[in-house]
Structure 1
């Protein structure tokens, strides 16, 4: 275990809470008001049973951070509510629950390389590539004389997620999408 201050905690870190149990950090936000004490709000999930909690700390409060091993895995397939990943060096397959995969589920593609954080030989969190390429299956046609500077239109992606794209983008176009929020980044270069 390593001591860190609350403002140094990041998404995916594993910390030991006051109750002695391990939690994986889902989101950490630091607030620095002009007047008053700066605070860090941490959304976290207990590893043992999946209970989620939100805790607020002073940014200088010390916490115990657990040592977690991050191993590259390849996504294979979905089996019911589980997502199966394989370690490319040992060929060991591990299932992750839908709750653990969370909002990343629609962006998983067969053969995608993902970082899985392991603690005591058990998976605790997953990180997928920040940008992936998807095809637009449906969008509205471009409107003439519409400026491209600030107007976006809705589009349906091949993975079933809706996003907003510039007016010049049409159905069948491959685009790069940010997996953290599903937003359009650019046209694919392939």
Structure 2
């Protein structure tokens, strides 16, 4: 593949490392050849780097297979997912699951990215609905805006919620930063 064919979301194999293109731009300086500026995100570490390629440079694209998989359970060492098409089960280590574990409920479907059969990362939906398992009771008069209190949701994650939220309510949580988005 040529650098002229870059697209956002394409995964490149550069020196044995996998990088996702998150931004690119063709640039023609006053003198010299056209170059392609890009921002690349390391698939495993999440590190973002700027990289400039000469126009028409050959780059190796990596095949990344994204599959919808259902989360079954955590066996103490790995998270067990099942392919919703083939019903094959796949054990995914905690390192790969990362922060997604704070939002995973049993039987929930998530997108698992695989390269040569090895799981790379898990794509969660932008938000999930979780039940509040514990929060301090609100006091009378706490209906006003602005105040928050800590609450623990069913996955064990602790988030900040408005004072009027009570134990047992379902709340919508942003999977990118863990922010409260609203009541369900």
The verdict on a shared fold, with TM-score over 0.5 as the criterion, is yes
Q: Which residue of 2 aligns with 1:177?
A: 173
Q: Which residue of 1 aligns with 2:147?
A: 151
What is the alpha-carbon root mean square deviation over aligned residues?
Answer: 3.2
1:101-146: CA deviation from partner (whole Å, max 9, x where unpaired): 1011122111111111222233222112222211112223334555
Distance 1:60 1:9 in 2: 18
Structure 2 unmatched runs, 5+: 25-36
Distance 2:64 2:2 in 1: 11
TM-score (norm 2): 0.74
Distance 2:52 2:143 in 1: 46
| Contact residue 131 and residue 178 of structure 1 kept, 8 A | yes
1:33-66: CA deviation from partner (whole Å, max 9, x where unpaired): xxxxxx86644256xxxx7755333599876542
Matches for 1:1-190 after TM superposition, within 5 Å: 1=1, 3=3, 9-10=8-9, 14-17=11-14, 19=15, 21-25=16-20, 42-45=40-43, 55-58=49-52, 64-145=60-141, 148-188=144-184
TM-score (norm 1): 0.72
Structure 1 unmatched runs, 5+: 31-38
Distance 1:29 1:153 in 2: 38
Question: Per the alignment, do residues 183 and 29 of structure 1 end up closer, same or farther by CA in structure 2, a change over 3 Å counting?
Answer: farther
Distance 2:158 2:39 in 1: 29
Runs of 4+ off more than 4 Å:
27-30, 39-43, 51-54, 58-64, 143-147
Secondary structure of the residue aligned to 2:133 is strand
Question: Per the alignment, do residues 86 and 154 of structure 1 end up closer, same or farther by CA in structure 2, a change over 3 Å counting?
Answer: same
Q: Which residue of 1 aligns with 2:33?
A: none
- How many residue pairs get aligned? The number is 169
1:44-100: CA deviation from partner (whole Å, max 9, x where unpaired): 256xxxx77553335998765423221111111112321111112211111111111
Question: Per the alignment, do residues 52 and 143 of structure 1 end up closer, same or farther by CA in structure 2, a change over 3 Å counting?
Answer: closer
| Contact residue 69 and residue 118 of structure 1 kept, 8 A | yes
Larger Rg: 2
Distance 1:153 1:43 in 2: 35
| Contact residue 42 and residue 56 of structure 1 kept, 8 A | yes
